Structure 1
Amino acid sequence: MSYQAQIHPSLAATALPAVECQGVTVRFTTERGTVTALENIDLTVPQGSFLSLLGPSGCGKSTLLRVVADLIAPTSGKIRVNGEAPEVARRNREIGFVFQDAALLPWRTALENVMLPLEVGGVRRSSNRDPRELLALVGLSGWEEAYPHELSGGMRQRVSIARALVSGPKLLLMDEPFGALDEITRDRLNEELLQVWESTGTTILFVTHSIYEAAFLGQEVLLLAARPGRVRELVDVNLPTPRRLPQRETAEFVELAGHLRRVLETC
């Protein structure tokens, strides 16, 4: 069965999907035998969509992101990113990645950390974004010259998001980027991330263990089951936009979260 995520309104006419998986399977061989991390994943993600990936530990959420990013090769099946092989998209710097750990270089300022991909790439492209504008976009105007040790955990993650966007990627992969933060900071960053998505139109695949975060952020939520990792269900999120935190207290949101929880209990 195939699953298709909703599209960002600004990119409704774009033909090529941002991500297309056909029968993607990933197996790892260890001393204890062969482990199937993903099995027969069929998925189509249109340009400009925001897709949350939710599921229990061991269901392959992070593995799927790494396959899309060309960090892991699938054992079988086909995958395309922006109509190309993942390797081509990676080399063309069409993919940005944000990890749970901000992984900033401690001897570089916030601005210098954001500029790092441009320095490593060595080529100025029309799609590159202005580092100062990106820091402003993620709410860090005035902090350009601050070093990582001078920033809170949430601020460091804002820097890492700006750094991932500086090359103008068409696709942003986020692997539990707010998982280690306190609840108040996490909520604030959820709202800010949606504003970044609305401003840039970048396709986002967002991995989380939080039901509420998945439902609040995603236009749709892809639920994965474990052992082996496989698609369990794709759930539409029909909440009004722009999204704001008080919506999580509405009957519609509570009903949605309850459905997601019930599905997870069967994964």
Structure 2
Amino acid sequence: MEYIKVTSENIEKEHICCALSNTSDIQVASKKAWLSRQFKEGLVFLKSIERGKCFIEYIPAENAWNPILAEGYMYINCLWVAGSLKGHGYSSDLLNACIEDSKNKGKKGLCILSAAKKKPFLADPKFLKYKGFQVCDEATNGIQLWYLPFDKNVHLPRFKECAKNPHIDEKGYVLYYTDQCPFNARYVPMIEAIAKEKSIPFKAVHLQSKEQAQNVVTAVTTYALFFDGNFIANELLNDKKFLKLLEK
């Protein structure tokens, strides 16, 4: 497999892997605009030359849009290989490229979000363990911070206190999200409209800066849904999934 690094110079002509081929799609535009801003913060987006979900996205932890304390580490936003591209060792290829690049940049190690059991849109804990990652912190909702140190004597990354116990005082549905996930551009307005139509209390909090994201109440910032104060989902909900949730 050949890989290509998406940069500010080639982003307009490159697809971004998330099964979105229409470059005029609002989801593609949203993601590319977000990536373009993050390149200036040291973000790396490495993907296969094949169309499909096969990429890794990582950034210096100090610039990550998550409430973590991991100075000197590289934070992996997303490592995703899916569909017909699974099972060929591409995840290892991408992770190894990230490790090599991070070591060359003098980083202390890598960190990434996961959970004890595989959750949608989070890294697979079995894969992380196989690759030598360990859990270094855990929030009360089961979201874990994993790390891979490059040296035995480095400090452990950890969550900020604000994210240790994900709970808010507001009633109804409250969603925190960023533009890191391109699908949010389509589905967040969609479920907002459903909630309005059904007179269901719903508030969407669009995190638009790393400062906001680094001080929010949830470790997962790409998509974090609360109901009556409690964290209930980090999985992006389309209209059908949201309606199903409402039925419960």
Q: Is TM (by shorter chain) over 0.5?
A: no
Q: Greater relative contact order (Cα 8 A, min sep 6): structure 1 or 2?
A: 1
Which structure shows the bigger proportion of residues in helix conformation? 1
